[in-house]
Structure 1
Amino acid sequence: MDAASVLPVLAAVPPGVLTGTTTATVVELADPLDPQTVLTRLRAAAGSPGPLVLCLAGQLHLDRRQHLPHLALARTTPATLRYTALPWHWLAGELGVRAPGTTTVVADLAADPDVWERLGTAPDLLNLGPGPLLYGRVTPAPRRGEPMAPDYLRSWAELWRSGARLPHATLHAESAAHAASATPESLFLAPAPTPVPVVTQDPHPAILAAAMAGRHGEAAAMAAAWESEALRRHGPRSAESVHWTEVRADLARLSGEPARSCELWLTAAEARLGLGQRTDDPDVEGAVDRAHHQWGEIADPARARALGPLLVTLRQRVPGRRPGALAALTRRMAEHPAP
Structure 2
Amino acid sequence: MQINGVQDRPGTALLLAAAPTGKGKLIEASSVIPVLAAVPPAALAGTAAATLIELADPVDPQAVLTRVRGAAATEGPLTVVLVGQLQLDRRQQGVHLALARTTPSTIRYTALPWSWLVSELRQRRPDTTTLYVDLVADAEVWQLLDEEPLDLPGGARTYGVLTPPPGRRRIAHPAYTHALAQILRTGQRSAPEQLHHEVLRRTGAIEGALVIGPERPTTPTNTQLPPARRVEVPAVPAPAPVRVPAAVPQQVPAPQPPPYAQPAPVAPAPAPVAPAPAAQQPVGPPAFQPPPSFSAPVAPAVPAQAPPPQPPMPTAPVHFPPPPPRAQRIVSPVYEPSAAVVPVEQDPHEQITALSQAGRHQEAVAMAAAAEHRAVQTLGADTFAAVHWIEVRAYLVSVAQDPGTSCQLWLQAAQTRLDTLQQAPDAHDVETAVDRAHHQWDRIRDAAQARALAPQLVFLRRRVPGRQRGALDAVQKKVERLNSLPA
TM-score bracket, shorter-length normalisation: 0.5 to 0.7
Q: Distance in 2 between matches of 1:86 and 1:170?
A: 30
Q: Deviations over 1:227-263 (max 9, x none)?
A: 999xx9x962464xx47xxxxxxxxxxxxxxxxxxxx
Q: Partner of 1:252 in structure 2?
A: none
Q: CA deviation at 1:141?
A: 1.9
**1:120 is matched by which residue type in structure 2?**
D
Q: Partner of 1:161 in structure 2?
A: 185
- Indicate which of 208, 214, 218 corresponds to 1:225: 218
- Indicate which of 160, 173, 188 corresponds to 2:211: 188
- 1:170 lines up with 2:166 in the alignment: no
Q: Distance in 2 between matches of 1:36 and 1:113?
A: 26
Q: 1:289 to 1:137 in 2, by over 3 A?
A: closer
* Residues 62-77 of structure 1 mapped to structure 2, 5 A cutoff: 62-77=88-103
Q: Distance in 2 between matches of 1:57 and 1:73?
A: 11
Q: CA deviation at 1:290?
A: 11
Coordinate RMSD, CA, aligned? 4.1
**2:128 is matched by which residue type in structure 1?**
T
Point out where structure 1 has 5 or more consecutive residues left out of the alignment. Answer: 194-222, 244-266, 276-284, 315-332
* Residues 288-303 of structure 1 mapped to structure 2, 5 A cutoff: none
Give the conservation status (yes or no) of the 8 Å contact 2:132–2:159: yes
Q: Distance in 2 between matches of 1:159 and 1:131?
A: 25
Give the conservation status (yes or no) of the 8 Å contact 1:60–1:110: yes
Q: Partner of 2:311 in structure 1?
A: none
Q: 1:225 to 1:77 in 2, by over 3 A?
A: same
Give the conservation status (yes or no) of the 8 Å contact 1:292–1:311: no
- Indicate which of 152, 164, 167 corresponds to 1:127: 152
Q: CA deviation at 1:148?
A: 1.4
Give the conservation status (yes or no) of the 8 Å contact 2:213–2:221: no
**2:210 is matched by which residue type in structure 1?**
L
Q: Partner of 2:346 in structure 1?
A: 273
Count residues in correspondence: 245
Identity %: 41
- Indicate which of 91, 94, 108 corresponds to 2:120: 94
Q: Deviations over 1:113-153 (max 9, x none)?
A: 11001112212x2322x211211211112345422111111
* Residues 253-268 of structure 1 mapped to structure 2, 5 A cutoff: none
SS of the residue aligned with 2:124? coil
Q: Distance in 2 between matches of 1:22 and 1:189?
A: 27
SS of the residue aligned with 2:218? helix
Q: Distance in 2 between matches of 1:110 and 1:159?
A: 22
Q: Deviations over 1:21-78 (max 9, x none)?
A: 1111111111100000000011111111011111111110111122121000011111
TM-score by length of 2: 0.43
Q: Deviations over 1:264-313 (max 9, x none)?
A: xxx998576259xxxxxxxxx9x968966999xx9xxxx69x96985998
- Indicate which of 109, 128, 136 corresponds to 1:83: 109
Q: Distance in 1 between matches of 2:378 and 2:140?
A: 47
- Mark the structure with the bigger radius of gyration: 2
Q: 1:137 to 1:269 in 2, by over 3 A?
A: closer
Q: Deviations over 1:69-99 (max 9, x none)?
A: 1000011111110111000110111111101
SS of the residue aligned with 1:107? strand
Q: CA deviation at 1:14?
A: 0.8
**2:232 is matched by which residue type in structure 1?**
P
Give the conservation status (yes or no) of the 8 Å contact 1:269–1:288: no
* Residues 139-150 of structure 1 mapped to structure 2, 5 A cutoff: 139-143=163-167, 145-150=169-174
Point out where structure 2 has 5 or more consecutive residues left out of the alignment. Answer: 1-26, 238-339, 349-369, 394-411, 413-452, 457-487
Q: Distance in 2 between matches of 1:237 and 1:310?
A: 19
Q: Partner of 2:67 in structure 1?
A: 41
Q: 1:180 to 1:153 in 2, by over 3 A?
A: same
